Structure 1
Amino acid sequence: MKSRVLFLPVVLLFSAPVLAQSGGDEKSVLIGPWRIEASFTKEQKFDRCTMSRTVDNGLESRFARDQAGTSLTLTSPRWKLDNGKTYPVEFAAGSLVWKTDVTATADTVRVALTDDRFNKAIRNANRLEVRGAGATLRIPLDKSSAALARLERCYETNRNASETNPFVAPKP
């Protein structure tokens, strides 16, 4: 009986940090500075999973995983970009550099992460450099390997759970 009485406080003690990290919101998880969340449409249909963080200068980095793959969106309230314009950018993760164009709105750029080698490099790098014509942005990637794995798990779990008709075969 004593072991049962001692077991409950120990369980509560170790589960408290997990509950505190999630902020009581069961739809989001924190891994280091990254917040991972599942997004749903108004009809409560699964849409995508995202992982995001904001650094000191207000730059928000958001990785999204949906049926089209993984994308990266960068947002800053200080930016004044031309809506619909594409900008050439170099992304550097560790020693690997990937050159591509990003699509812009007024304060946001977005790029589909289509290079498999670069995507693997992001998991192992300490930071991501985004080299534009006017400046280089530096995004810390601490805990990104675990967070990206959790992002993928979020997507797979929710994608597979979205089938509500038990008489129809799951989508491949």
Structure 2
Amino acid sequence: MNGRAIFVSLFLLCGAAQAYSATKDDSVLIGPWKIEASFTKEQKFDRCMMSRMVDNGVEASFARDSAGTSLTMTSERWKLDSGKAYPVAFVAGKTSWKTDVTATADTVRVALTDERFNKALRNANRLEVRGAGSTITIPLDKSAAALERLDRCYQNNRNAGETNPFEAPKP
């Protein structure tokens, strides 16, 4: 192997390692949204998250991982039945989507699987989460840019731990 090939190999490997370490401990703020990468105990990339607190004491978090994008909402005031699925209507702009959210004691989570709704979510000013007992409003100021950054965080980190630049990335 000649010196030039060694240099190129080292450059590619160092670039991947630098991308990994640069995002591992950093978070980015876009408006009220905090975006960060999450890693396992073994320091392997897990997912990217963006979160914010809402006026009514609810923390809203969007996560992007290999399964897609999900929404999690948490409130210390909630007393939910763990394991129960609650029917909910989500409204972003003029687009609505009905599905069930799964619960723990103070958290609900839903995979965002409706493409039409996901597109509307990027362009809406607020998200309404309509449950049987009340409606939770999540302001979406700066969310289009934040969701774009969330996707970029996932794309940049999902292969950052790769050590062989000569093999195709794993899906």
Q: Return the TM-score normalized by structure 1.
A: 0.83
Alignment length, in residue pairs? 148
Which letter maps to 2:122?
R
Counterpart in the other structure of 1:101 = 100
Counterpart in the other structure of 1:90 = 89
After the TM superposition, which parts of structure 1 deviate over 6 Å for at least 4 consecutive aligned residues?
Answer: none
Give the share of equivalent positions with the same residue, in percent. 79
Residues 15-46 of structure 1: per-residue CA shift (max 9 Å, x gap): xxxxxxxxxx9510000000000000111100
Mapping for residues 96-135 of structure 1, pairs under 5 Å: 96-135=95-134
In the alignment, the residues of structure 2 paired with residue 149 and residue 115 of structure 1 have an alpha-carbon distance, to the nearest angstrom, of 17
Mapping for residues 1-172 of structure 1, pairs under 5 Å: 27-166=26-165, 168-172=167-171
Q: Return the TM-score normalized by structure 2.
A: 0.83
In the alignment, the residues of structure 2 paired with residue 170 and residue 84 of structure 1 have an alpha-carbon distance, to the nearest angstrom, of 36
Which letter maps to 1:70?
T
Segments of structure 1 that go 5 or more residues without pairing to the other structure are 1-24
Segments of structure 2 that go 5 or more residues without pairing to the other structure are 1-23
In the alignment, the residues of structure 1 paired with residue 161 and residue 143 of structure 2 have an alpha-carbon distance, to the nearest angstrom, of 26
Q: 1:165 to 1:43 in 2, by over 3 A?
A: farther
Q: Which has the higher contact order (CA 8 A, sep 6+)?
A: 2
Give the superposed CA RMSD: 1.3
Cα displacement (A) at 1:138: 0.4
Residues 117-165 of structure 1: per-residue CA shift (max 9 Å, x gap): 1001011100000000000000000000000000000000001212123
